[in-house]
């Protein structure tokens, strides 16, 4: 089945968890498009030009072990405003979306720009406080020393930049199904996503 599921939303809303779970449920391939921007951001922190980095991105770059740090997240969000960086990443994402067995892509502009014809579009969100608390727990679990306040400020700064940029800003597609995970367990959030995807059969 060639079905494309586009899942967008702000940082730490639960997109990644939901995307992995629904990909597994339906047997679709999954692409976390944030990793592309994080890999470019990590290169920029090493002094490489963002557009050159985006054009030369390889599969190994997506496996670098520092991509989940707050520094790389901010660098990713900053490079993601550059139109030529975004343009360099479009073909790869669209080719992935057209995989024969079905594909789930999660990011910020999948339903609006990358796959406007996706069969299913979800917009996963949650309050900034809930998202910051989740990210704080994730980071402190990995030994990072960032405080709750720092993590909340980081989340808000990224929301602000991602939603207000000129190029492919974060916003729900007109036909997206909204899922607010603020008060949902992971199981309930995944069940809502599965139901929304099944409903589009």
Question: Which residue in the block uniquely carries the two structure tokens 């498009």?
Answer: 33
109 binds ligand DC (CB under 6 A): yes
Interface with ligand DC includes 30 (CB under 6 A)? Answer: no
Spatial separation of the C-alpha atoms in residues 187 and 174, rounded to whole Å: 26
How many residues in the shown chain lie near ligand DC by CB under 6 A? 15
- Residue 37 binding ligand DC, by CB under 6 A: yes
Residue closer to ligand DC by CB (options 69, 77) is: 77
Q: Could you give the string, one character per residue 152-181, with x where binding to ligand DC holds by CB under 6 A and - elsewhere?
A: ------x---x-------------------
User: How many C-beta atoms lie closer than 10 Å to residue 40's C-beta?
Assistant: 31
Question: Which one of the spans 18-26, 70-78, 134-142, 179-187 is the region binding ligand DC (CB under 6 A)?
Answer: 70-78
Question: Closest distance between ligand DC and the C-beta of residue 167, in Å?
Answer: 9
* Cβ contacts of 17 within 8 Å, gap of 6 or more: 186, 189, 190
- Does 43 help bind ligand DC (rule: CB under 6 A)? no
Q: How far apart are CA 162 and CA 32, in angstroms?
A: 16
Alpha helices in the chain (DSSP H): 15-26, 34-45, 50-55, 70-79, 83-97, 128-141, 148-164, 186-199
* Residue closer to ligand DC (CB basis): 86 or 192: 86
Q: Which of 5, 11, 42, 97 contacts ligand DC by CB under 6 A?
A: 11
């Amino acid at each position: 089945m060639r079905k494309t599921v586009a899942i967008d939303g702000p940082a730490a809303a639960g997109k990644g968890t939901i995307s992995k779970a629904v990909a597994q449920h339906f047997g679709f391939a999954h692409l976390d498009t944030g990793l592309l921007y994080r890999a470019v951001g990590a290169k920029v922190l090493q002094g490489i030009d963002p557009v050159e980095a985006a054009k030369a991105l390889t599969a190994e770059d997506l496996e670098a072990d520092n991509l989940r740090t707050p520094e790389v997240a901010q660098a990713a969000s900053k490079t993601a405003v550059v139109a030529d960086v975004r343009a360099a990443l479009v073909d790869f994402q669209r080719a992935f979306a057209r995989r024969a067995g079905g594909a789930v892509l999660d990011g910020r502009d999948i339903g609006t720009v990358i796959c406007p014809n996706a069969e299913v579009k979800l917009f996963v969100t949650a309050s900034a406080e809930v998202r910051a608390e989740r990210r704080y727990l994730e980071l402190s679990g990995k030994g990072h020393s960032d405080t709750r306040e720092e993590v909340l400020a980081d989340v808000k700064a990224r929301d602000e930049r991602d939603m207000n940029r000129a190029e492919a800003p974060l916003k729900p597609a007109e036909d997206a199904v909204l899922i607010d995970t603020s008060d949902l367990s992971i199981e309930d959030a995944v069940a809502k996503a599965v139901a929304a995807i099944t409903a589009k059969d």
